[in-house]
Copies of this chain bind each other. A is one copy, B any other.
Amino acid sequence: MTHFSPLPMADAPRERSDAARNRDAVMCAAARLVTELGVDAVTMDRVAAEACVGKGTVFRRFGSRAGLMAAVLNGAETEFQERVISGPPPLGPGAGTAERLLAFGPARLRQNLLHGALLEAAASIHGRSHAAYSFNLLHVRHLLAELEVGGDLPLLAAALLSPLEVPVLRSQVEVQHLPVERLEAAWVDLARRVAGL
């Protein structure tokens, strides 16, 4: 649970101490409840009660349930991004571009499966939780560009990302009972075709 940076912006109206205290309390409570009870059992009232805080405070801070879940997810998502940006190959730099691309899909796939419920709960904020999603988009797009793939790169990247969306994955794993390894292999195949490898 990393303290959010008190990074001083231009004309920072400095966060009030009670606000900071409450925000931490809420985040802690939320994270604890999520791991203890599972995402679906975590209600806003419960979080508020657990944090010894009024419900209004939770909402002012995080805007909505989706916002709160996004905040809880933040840690894992940041860690993933760091693995991509500066972690060891083949996901991180140091491997060839094609190799990195083919490693990205399965990694993201497992990440999405692992945090499926949380991602879903955080997604409804307005469709896709923008920050995290656009990072993935940018990364794939960048790799495609380096591979000198022709075509509409932003949309090609989106096409590679969309089969990794949680609802798609969940349906394949939980309803159709396809093994994860097969999904990974299929994604790699897809990426090869799209990138012309």
Question: Which one of A17-25, A30-38, A53-61, A177-185 is at the interface?
Answer: A177-185
Number of copies: 2
Chain B residues with CB under 8 A of A185: 152
A127–B42 Cα gap in the complex (Å)? 20
Please give the number of chain A residues whose Cβ is less than 8 angstroms from any Cβ of chain B in the complex.
34
How would you classify the secondary structure of chain A's contact residues: helix, strand, loop or mixed?
A: helix
Residue A9 interfacial (CB < 8 Å): no
Chain A: residues with CB nearer than 8 A to chain B?
123, 126-128, 130, 133, 151-152, 154-156, 158-159, 162-163, 165, 167-168, 170-172, 175-176, 178, 182-183, 185-187, 189-190, 193-194, 196
